[in-house]
Structure 1
């Protein structure tokens, strides 16, 4: 039985979902103001309590924000609490992690920021458990505007944006991966539903090879990498074209894969 949500009161802080630039983990940082609205950066600069994936990279992001709009206090004085390691490894989107303890600052009246390594927290990243716990505790959840790679890739793919599904990571085992690709392709071709998925960057080349080997010639494959960055690449063609192409995916830059008709 679900616990009834605690009524909201003015004494409670808010949970802000703060998007991060998509260049996290890449060699070259982009101009923050080119992809992040000033309002988002100003709101982030006003927060002194954070839940993050990695405190080191969160501090680096806050330093970049400070170069644009002053932080409310020195980074050294801020509270940055990392999500547990098991959340990184197994995810938290199925409700298996109790995040209530991370909300203590907001329950004490402080606004709290949630940040992931890139893009929007809880979208293909950890954080759903924190958001769910915030709702259950009666906290107001405020998503801020910023880049979300999945939607940018979908919009740029030329595939069906009215009916789509994000299916996360595919199996690492070669045979299981090919079987999963065939299932996703069959669903996409039958229903018109675009299938979106991602892969760990260092396996980009392996994924592309599997796609070219497994998918039918007329299935459309779109691959978007380095979105919002200077080296951004967005290519969408039937698989038969990909087989003739010499395009190579950078194994250091995250990519979003989409298949459809």
Structure 2
């Protein structure tokens, strides 16, 4: 008999969105049954849990931090509560853990140990932007961050555009918010005028904008992308 706990993957709001707008009631109930969390950032996690109305005192919660600074050898210790029969929640800074955010390593370790993994419903900027783009939702690829160096970034953009035309596959990618403008300029200068570009900005926030235009039409469109969370899609 397997007496291990369950690993719950708990989505987080994509910003200061009204929490009841994007998080189901079941998630709030579950949060009040869990006192151990694997999180991308402890400060952010505490703030989200407080906004979610957690009744367990924050000081009584146990947090394990999982991000780019976490050492591989530390991950095994994160499994101990689960192996001892305790349920554990995973929280990223925003959106769904394990999708363009940390969490996959822990899920993989749990799967290898036959620990039950339960993904919960919540906001995913990738799926929401795809839904609103008007692009092919049957075949798509999320490419994460493109190269920082401009020459390599432009080459990657042209490669993604070829996939759009040759494979009829929607291509999604992101950039660090303060470099959004540079990426946008590279798209306009290097892709075909007829290629369609969707930019999804501030998803689920009151300032949300999700706009699809051809590259040539974007060239005459004014839009503020600086330091705003965006997803870019071409299709």
- The bucket for the TM-score relative to the shorter chain is over 0.9
In the alignment, which of 61, 64, 83 is matched to residue 48 of structure 2? 61
Matched, 1:20 2:12: yes
CA distance in 2, matches of 1:45, 1:197: 35
Q: Aligned to 2:79, what secondary structure does the other structure show?
A: helix
8 Å Cα contact 1:98/1:133 also seen in 2: no
CA shift at 1:247, angstroms? Answer: 1.8
**Cα deviations by residue, 1:165-208 (Å, 9 ceiling, x for unpaired):** 11111001111110100011011111110001111111111111
Q: CA 1:223–1:87 in structure 2 vs 1: closer, same or farther (change >3 Å)?
A: farther
CA shift at 1:225, angstroms? Answer: 1.0
Alignment correspondent of 1:192: 168
8 Å Cα contact 1:50/1:113 also seen in 2: yes
Count of aligned pairs between the two proteins: 235
CA shift at 1:97, angstroms? Answer: 7.4
Q: Aligned to 1:80, what secondary structure does the other structure show?
A: strand
CA RMSD between the two structures: 1.5
CA shift at 1:45, angstroms? Answer: 2.4
8 Å Cα contact 2:67/2:102 also seen in 1: no
CA shift at 1:248, angstroms? Answer: 2.2
CA shift at 1:246, angstroms? Answer: 1.4
CA shift at 1:252, angstroms? Answer: 2.6
Q: Aligned ranges for residues 1-261 of structure 1 at < 5 Å?
A: 9=2, 11-23=3-15, 29-66=16-53, 70-71=54-55, 73-86=56-69, 99-249=75-225, 251-260=226-235
Q: Aligned to 1:234, what secondary structure does the other structure show?
A: strand
Structure 1 regions of 5+ residues with no counterpart? 1-7, 24-28, 89-95
8 Å Cα contact 2:140/2:170 also seen in 1: yes
CA distance in 2, matches of 1:259, 1:171: 17
CA distance in 2, matches of 1:87, 1:77: 23
CA shift at 1:109, angstroms? Answer: 0.9
CA distance in 2, matches of 1:125, 1:50: 15
CA shift at 1:103, angstroms? Answer: 1.3
Structure 2 regions of 5+ residues with no counterpart? none
CA distance in 2, matches of 1:107, 1:22: 31
